[in-house]
Amino acid sequence: MSSIALITGTTHGIGRVTSRELAKAGRTVVMLCRDVPAAQRVRNEILAMVPGASIHVVECDLASLASVRAAAGAVRRDFGRISLLINNAGIAPSRQQMSVDGFELTFATNHLGPFLLTQLLLDRMNSPGRIVNVASRVHYRGTLDLNRVVNAKARFNPMAAYAQSKLANVLHTFALARRLTGTPITANCLHPGVVATNLLPRWLRAIKPLLSPMMLDEERGAKTTLYLALSEVVTGASGKYFDENQIAQPAAEAANNVLLQEALWEVSERWVKQD
């Protein structure tokens, strides 16, 4: 079996492009998706372009910790060592919603689900292995207010919720990379650019005309993910934040706060009940 690459959120946008390019690169692609029929359609599209590619679909709803555990169990049962884990999936709901586990849905999907998935599969990572977290430049505007994550009656601001989840992605990446120091496994995160897809949240669509000059299409939006996944240039690089031009950039001051990184890690472990 070829080198195994896991990726979440492949039914649209940069996840779909990334999956296709990984298949072209000869990777065994395991797509972890909530919408299995949509993922199967993407699988068929890729197979039409890359005959003979090895592509698999595993059901995984990142907003459900039970679903994440089931998906990780299926991966552990059905596949060998993992060389690449791309936490790509993300949402940006426009109204307050809570996950089945009682967490604000944006945070549950964008951070807690990927955090748990990574924890459950870390011991199956190959040597060398790469973990790539798709974050966002929006993390610069993020603040960590974990009380809002568990308070269903908290005032909801969709932009603030999304920015908080993206800050959590960067904090997670840096804390994970520190724990992986001295191992052949790396962890990096990235801003893919403002990607023009039909999945733009409603609150962002309102200013889409203003953003259009700086928007990337899905092909260009996937470039940094693919760079961190496949390029030999970044072999050994870890604990870094890359922009849409594949250049390592300073992350937000809050993201570099080690105390904040460790506080989020401790709370995340407790919330997903992973010791």
Digit-coded pLDDT (tens) for 28-37: 999 999 999 9
Residue 241's pLDDT is what? 99
Asked whether the beta carbons of 32 and 6 are under 8 A apart, the reply is yes
Nearest to 43 by CA among 23, 13, 25, 72: 23
Edge-first strand listing for the sheet containing 82-87: 55-59, 28-33, 4-8, 82-87, 125-134, 185-190, 241-242, 248-249
Residue 275's pLDDT is what? 40
| CATH number of this structure's domain 4-272 | 3.40.50.720
Query: What residues are labeled active site?
Result: 162
- Per-residue pLDDT tens over the stretch 233-263: 999 999 999 999 999 999 999 999 999 999 9
SS3 249: strand
Q: Looking at this protein, which amino acid is placed at residue 44?
A: N
User: Has residue 101 got a pLDDT over 80?
Assistant: yes
Alpha-helix residue ranges (DSSP H) falling in 184-232: 202-205, 208-211, 218-221, 223-230
Give the mean pLDDT of 100-121. Answer: 99
Q: Name residues whose C-beta falls within 8 Å of residue 231's C-beta, 6 or more positions apart in sequence.
A: 246
- Per-residue pLDDT tens over the stretch 45-76: 999 999 999 999 999 999 999 999 999 999 99
pTM strictly above 0.75: yes
Residue 52's pLDDT is what? 96
- Per-residue pLDDT tens over the stretch 203-221: 565 545 544 456 778 889 9
Residue 210's pLDDT is what? 41
Q: What confidence category does residue 38 fall into, taking pLDDT thresholds of 50, 70 and 90?
A: very high
Residue 199's pLDDT is what? 53
Residue found by looking up tokens 């899905």 in the block: 218
Q: Please provide the average confidence, as pLDDT, over all residues in the chain.
A: 93
Q: What confidence category does residue 193 fall into, taking pLDDT thresholds of 50, 70 and 90?
A: confident
Residue 272's pLDDT is what? 98
